[in-house]
Amino acid sequence: MTQCCINPSILSADFVNLEAELKRISNADAVHVDVMDNHFVPNLTIGLPVVQRIQAVSPVPLDAHLMIADADRWAPGFADAGLASVTFHAEAAIAPIKLARELRARGAKAGMALRPGTPVEPYLDMLSELDMLLIMTVEPGFGGQAFLDVTLPKIRRARKAIDGSGIGVAIQVDGGITEDTIARAAEAGANVFVAGSAVYGADDPEAAIDRLRQAGSETLRSSAE
């Protein structure tokens, strides 16, 4: 895949003015919404009612990242809310294939996330059930962390398996994505990039998105040649 997608994370946005913050990233490919429950990760953010309101006012599609326990029970409700993409953690799902199929049946793209220390190999046989594989490049739970280069070999292995299968599964990376690190992640095989601080910490978030997209696209094109 050579299309570079930038999905800014509202974890770095001003939560008091979310509607205005969404308008500041209208050139994004999607809005990355981090849902944390203080159980699966040691942080608490927002739940389904708030996500539903974000969905109602967002100028771009919503990409939910559910860092929550009991994903099999709760994830389908986010698909029912009309979100474009719903990603659950493999470590929090009892029946990931069944859950992925249920998300798709309810109209959302199905994504599955892996913590930095979770190997990708046990899940390669279910790639056909997914639209996106999210490889965390930091430990989930908090924004502003530094990119973990140790995750690059896993991204490469996932890309090799996806390309070998001929299945159009996107590889998303989340954590520490900046203009400096996006090229390394893209060279390894990622094509969807979550950026929080790099976008909302900039004076002009839309310009920051354009710069990230350009940097990622150049690397993806070079890798494809």
Span 200-210, pLDDT tens digits: 999 999 999 99
Catalytic member of 29, 34, 63, 131:
34
**Catalytic: 174?**
yes
Q: In the chain, what's the furthest Cα-to-Cα distance?
A: 45
Residue-level length of the chain: 225
Catalytic residue among 174, 203, 204, 210: 174
Predicted confidence band of residue 223 (pLDDT cuts 50, 70, 90): confident
What is the per-residue pLDDT across 145-184, written as a single tens digit (0 to 9) for each?
899 999 999 999 999 999 999 999 999 999 999 999 999 9
| Per-residue pLDDT, 81 | 97
What phi, psi does 141 have (nearest 5°)?
135, -30
> pLDDT by residue (tens digit) across 2-50?
689 999 999 999 999 999 999 999 999 999 999 999 999 999 999 999 9
For this structure, is 203 an active site residue?
no
What is 69-130 written as a DSSP string? S-HHHHHHHHHHTT-SEEEEEGGG-SSHHHHHHHHHHTT-EEEEEE-TTS-SGGGGGGGGG-
Reported pTM = 0.96
Beta strands in the chain (DSSP E): 5-8, 31-36, 62-67, 85-89, 109-114, 132-136, 170-174, 192-195
Query: Could you read off the pLDDT of 110-126 as tens digits, one per residue?
Result: 999 999 999 999 999 99
